[in-house]
Amino acid sequence: MAWFDTVLRSLVTPAQGTAPDVVAVGVDAQAVTVVLAGQYRSAPAPWVVDETGTRWSLQRTAALPDSVPAPGRGHAPFPCLAAIGTTVSGQQWFLDLERAGVVSITGDEHRIGDFLRYLAAELAHNPWSEMMRVDAVGIGGELADLNPDRLVLHQDPDEPTQQFSRSARQRIDLLTSQPGGALRARTDDLEPEAWAPRVLISGAAGESVQLCADGLDRIDGRAGLALVAPVRGDGRGLRLHIDSSGAANVPALGLHVHATQLPADEAAALAQLLAHAASVTTTQESEGAPADDETSPAVRDVVGGMTDRNAPHLEPVDSVLPQPDATYLKAAATTAEDLNMLAPVSSEIERRRAQVADPDLDRDLADWADPHCRRPKVTLLGPVRVDAQGELPTRNPRRQFYTEVVAYLITRPDGATSEQYATALWPDEPDVVGKTKVRQSISVVRTWLGVDPDGADYLPSGLSAAAGGRYRISGALVDADLFRRLRARGLARGADGIDDLQRALDLVSGKPFELPDLRVRGVGGYGWLLDDGERLDLELPALIVDVAHIVATHHLGNGEPERAASAAHSALRSGTYEDVPLLDLVAACDAMGNQAEASAYVTRILANHDAEVEEDLPPRTAEVLFRRNRLD
C-alpha cells in the first residue's frame, strides 16, 4: 500500500509541479502501467512513455527519486483511485473515479452489491485516499465499524444526495476561480481542502441519484467528486458491466477483469478487524471561547465605560445591585470593594450600547435551548462536548480527539494557521506539519460540523477567502461565549440585568474544560490549554465565581437566601478553590437559620487555608467572617 502510494506521487513532474490526467492504473509483478486521458510525451524518470504518449510504465525494480514525497507528506494526487478487478494474467486494475465522474454499473444485482461493498471498504481504507468522504446509500451496512472518519452509511438517500448536489454546485463555482480543478489544486497546493474528494456509492438508481448524475454532467474537469451506482436505461459516464460469474468489462478502456468482490458475510469480520487495528494505532498515538471578557470591542466599551457606584453622575444611573451598599454589606458576604468592582453603575447610554453591540444574543440563546437547532453546539463550561449535525458515530474511537480539535479551534476567534494547529494537537511530533493526518482531521471535523442554512461550511477551508489562510470555526454556539455575552449585557442593563446573570449561571454544568477520565490534560490531550497564556480553564471559573457572587448578593439583599445558595453552588460546580462561594453559603445559611451548616462551611474555609488564627486567612475572607461574627 505504501509503495503504491509513493508510485502515484512520483507521477507529478518535479520541474513543472504538474501531474498527467490519469484514467486507470494497472499493476502486476513486473510493472505499473498508467493509462492517460491524452498524450503526455514527457514523463519524470524513471517512468517510460510508450509510442502513443497515452501510457506510462514503471518497472517495479526501478528506484524512485528521493525527491518524491513520502506517503503522508504533500498531497496525494489521485485520492479516488480504486481497484475494480484483476485480469486473467494477474494484472490488477485501478480506476480513477474522479476522472470518470459518473460510473454506471449494469449487470447481475448480487454481483453489483458485492462490488459496491468492496469499493466502499477500499476507499475507506486506502492510504492515498486523503480527506476522503464516502457516502454509501443502501449498501454496506456490515461495514458500520470500518473507519467512520471516511465511510458514512445511509438508508435514506435524501440527505446524502442533497449534500452531494450542493457540493457539485460549489465545485462548479470554484472552477471559475481555479480552472485547473482538483488535480491542479493538489499538485500546486492551491487550497486542496476546498476540493476534498467525495464519492457517493448507491445500491439503487433512484431519482435523487439521477439528479446527482445530472449535477456531475455539468462539471467540466476534475472536481473531487464521483458517483458510482446501478443505472436505469443507457446510463451515463463510464460504463462498467458485471455478469453473474463476476466477470466485468469497461468498454471505453477495453478492460476485461474479474470484478473485486466483498460478500456481506465477509464484510462484518473485515470491518471489525480493521476497526480493532485502528483503535490500537489510536491508543499508541495518544500515549507517545474568545480571549477577551466580552465578545466584541463594542461590548468591551460598554463594560469599560461603567463607573464607581459612589461617584457623582450627571444623568440617571443604575446598577445590577441597585440598593445602598449598607444593605448588601449587612445581608450578604461581600465588601465595598466587591460592590464597586463587580456591580458598577450603568446609564441609559450603556444600556443602549450593549443592545446594539450584541443584537443576536437572544436569538443565539433560543438556538442553544432548541434541541432541533442544527447549528453546532460546543460545551466548555463542564465536560467538553460537541453536538453537531454531521455524521460522526458515537462509537468512533477518535471521537474524543475530534472533540478536542473543535475545542481548540473554537477558542481561537482569529483562527489558527496549519502550523499552529498541527503543533498544538500533536505537540510530541516535531515533524507533524504537513502530514496527511493533519489535513484528514480537519476534513473529518468539517464534515462533522456540517453546513449552515446557506450551504457554507462552519469550518471553511483554511485557504478559502472566508478563512484568510487560517482554520476558523464560525457560526457555532459555545456556552462559554454565551456566558460572557450574558454577563456583559447583564452588567450594562443595571437592575434589569440580574436575569441575564442568572441565565449565564444556568449554562454552567461542571468544571470548565472537564475531560473524560482517559484524557489526562497535558498528557492524553489538551496540552495547548496549559500552554495558553490566558489559561481559559482557570479564567472561566473565576468569571463564574464573580457572576455567582453578584447573583447571590442580589438575592441576599432581597431576602431570598435559597436562591442565593443556588447561585453559590453554581460557582462550586466550576471547581473553584476560592472562598467567595463558601462565604456566600455561610451568609445564605445564616439567613435561613441553618447555623450548623453555616459553621460547617466556615470550618471548610479554615481547613482550606490550614488556618489557626485570623492572620492565616486572606484579608477579604477574614473581613467577611469577622463582620458575620464567625471569628473569635
Q: How far apart are CA 391 and CA 406, in angstroms?
A: 15
The percentage of the chain sitting over the pLDDT mark of 70, rounded to a whole number, equals 87
CATH of the domain at 516: 1.25.40
The mean pLDDT of 367-383, rounded to a whole number, is 95
Q: Which amino acid is at 49?
A: V
**Number of separate helices (H) and strands (E) present in the chain:** 23, 19
Domain boundary among 432, 458, 475: 475
What single-letter DSSP state applies at residue 72? T
Distance (Å, rounded) from C-alpha 502 to C-alpha 498? 6
Q: Looking at residue 535, what is its pLDDT?
A: 83
Q: Flag the least confident range among 54-68, 399-413, 511-525, 601-615.
A: 511-525
Quick one: pLDDT at residue 529?
A: 85
- pLDDT at 194 exceeding the cut of 90: no
134 versus 534: the higher-pLDDT residue is 134
Q: In whole angstroms, what is the distance from residue 215 CA to residue 281 CA?
A: 39
Residue 280 pLDDT: 47
pLDDT digits (tens, 9 = 90+) for 548-561: 999 999 999 999 99
Cα–Cα distance, 385 to 128 (Å, whole number): 31
Mean pLDDT, residues 63-88 taken together: 85
pLDDT number for residue 290: 37
386 and 301 together in one domain = no
Q: How many residues are there in the chain?
A: 632
Residues 220 and 322 in one domain: no
Residues 226 and 84 in one domain: yes
Same domain, 204 and 344: no
Nearest to 3 by CA among 22, 35, 27: 27
Question: Do the Cβ atoms of 206 and 71 come closer than 8 Å?
Answer: no
| pLDDT for 301 beyond 70 | no
- Both 325 and 398 in one domain: the answer is no
Q: Is residue 285 part of a domain?
A: no
Does 492 map to a domain?
yes
Position 30 pLDDT exceeds 80: yes
488: Cβ contacts below 8 Å, ≥ 6 apart = 293, 294, 295, 299, 302, 303, 354, 357, 358
- pLDDT confidence band for 14 (50 / 70 / 90): low
Same domain as 105, residue 205: yes
The arithmetic mean of pLDDT across residues 161-173, rounded, is: 91
The predicted pLDDT at position 288 comes to 45
Considering only residues 72 and 123, tell me which one the structure prediction assigns the higher pLDDT: 123
pLDDT bin (cut points 50, 70, 90) of residue 299 is: very low
Q: 24 lies in a domain?
A: yes
Whether residue 565 lies inside any domain: the answer is: yes
Q: Is the pLDDT of residue 302 over 50?
A: no
Across all residues in the chain, what is the average pLDDT? 85
Helix (H, G, I), strand (E, B) or coil at 558: coil
Q: Is the pLDDT of residue 369 over 50?
A: yes
d(CA 17, CA 30): 27
Q: Looking at per-residue confidence, does 50 or 70 come out higher?
A: 50
- Compute the distance between CA of residue 363 and CA of residue 377 in angstroms, rounded to an integer: 14
CA 79, 85, 90, 91 dihedral sign is: negative
CB 142 within 8 A of CB 113: no
Q: Whose grid coordinates read 493538489?
A: 186
User: Is it the case that residue 307 has pLDDT exceeding 70?
Assistant: no
Indicate whether 371 belongs to any domain.
no
Final residue before a domain boundary, out of 420, 440, 475: 475
Q: CB neighbours (10 Å) of residue 431?
A: 9
Query: Residues 522-531: contacts with CB within 8 Å, 24+ apart?
Result: 524/286, 524/287, 525/286, 525/400, 525/401, 525/404, 526/404, 526/407, 527/424, 527/427, 528/408, 528/424, 528/425, 528/427, 531/424
CATH code at 461?
A: 1.10.10.10
SS3 111: helix
| pLDDT 10s digits, 84-116 | 999 988 899 999 999 999 999 999 999 999 999
Domain with 432, as residue range(s), is 376-475
Closest CA to 195 of 178, 177, 182: 182
pLDDT at 193 over 70: yes
Res 266: pLDDT: 84
Q: What is the C-alpha separation between 267 and 118, in angstroms, rounded?
A: 8
| Greatest mean pLDDT among 41-50, 378-387, 521-530 | 378-387
Q: Which of 220, 260, 217, 223 is nearest to 237 (CA)?
A: 217
Q: Which of 506, 507, 553, 623 is nearest to 342 (CA)?
A: 553
Q: Spell out the alpha helix ranges (H) of 498-614.
A: 498-506, 527-531, 536-557, 561-573, 580-592, 595-608
Sequence-distant (6+) residues with CB within 8 A of 16 are none
Which residues are CB-neighbours of 335 under 8 A, at least 6 positions away? 329, 620, 623, 624
Domain of residue 152, CATH code: 3.40.50
Quick one: pLDDT at residue 281? 46
Q: Pick the more confident residue, 604 or 15.
A: 604
Looking at residue 346, what is its pLDDT?
A: 78
Q: What is the pLDDT of residue 469?
A: 72
Do 468 and 486 reside in the same domain of the chain?
no
Q: What's the average model confidence in pLDDT over 602-610?
A: 92
pTM recorded for the entire structure: 0.75
User: What pLDDT was estimated at residue 588?
Assistant: 97
Burial class (CB in 10 A: 0-12, 13-18, 19+), 429: middle
301: left (phi over 0), alpha (psi -120 to 50) or beta: alpha
Alpha-carbon gap, residue 120 to 150, rounded angstroms: 10
How does pLDDT run across 459-475, given as a tens digit for each residue? 987 655 455 578 999 99
Same-domain status, 255 and 268: yes
Question: Could you tell me the three cell numbers for 213?
Answer: 448524475
- Give me the pLDDT at residue 463, please: 58
Cβ-in-10-Å burial (0-12, 13-18, 19+) of 172 comes to middle
**Most confident listed range (295-309, 333-347, 546-560):** 546-560
Kindly tell me if the per-residue pLDDT of 413 is higher than 90.
Answer: no
Question: Does the structure show a pLDDT above 80 at 203?
Answer: yes
Q: Are residues 449 and 539 in the same domain?
A: no
> What is the Cα–Cα distance from 492 to 294, expressed in whole angstroms?
12
Q: What angle do CA 193, 199, 202 make, to 5 degrees?
A: 160
Residue 370 lies in a domain: no
Does residue 547 sit in the same domain as residue 408? no
Q: Residue 352: which pLDDT band, with cuts at 50, 70 and 90?
A: confident
Is 491 in the same domain as 462? no
Q: How far is CA 41 from CA 51, 180, 183, 281, in A?
A: 8, 20, 19, 43
| Contact indicator for 242, 248 with CB cutoff of 8 Å | yes
Mean predicted confidence (pLDDT) in 576-599: 95
pLDDT at 215: 87
Instruction: Specify the higher pLDDT residue, 217 or 585.
Output: 585
Going by the DSSP 8-state scheme, the letter that residue 168 receives in this structure is H
Asked if 218 contacts 191 with a C-beta cutoff of 8 angstroms, the reply is no
CA atoms within 13 A on the CB side of 565: 16
User: Is 362 inside a domain boundary?
Assistant: no
Q: Is the pLDDT of residue 252 over 80?
A: yes
Last residue of a domain, one of 475, 492, 522: 475
616 with 498, same domain? yes
Q: Which of 225-229, 440-444, 528-532, 583-587 comes out lowest in average pLDDT? A: 528-532
Mean pLDDT of 254-278: 79
Report how many domains make up the chain.
Answer: 3
Integer-rounded Cα Rg, in Å, for the chain is: 31
Q: Is residue 368 part of a domain?
A: no
pLDDT in tens, 477-533: 999 999 999 999 999 888 889 999 999 999 999 999 987 554 445 555 888 887 766
Q: Which spans in 343-473 are helix H?
A: 348-357, 361-369, 399-410, 418-425, 436-449
Q: What is the reported pLDDT for 294?
A: 36
Contacts of 166 (CB under 8 A, 6+ apart): 451, 455
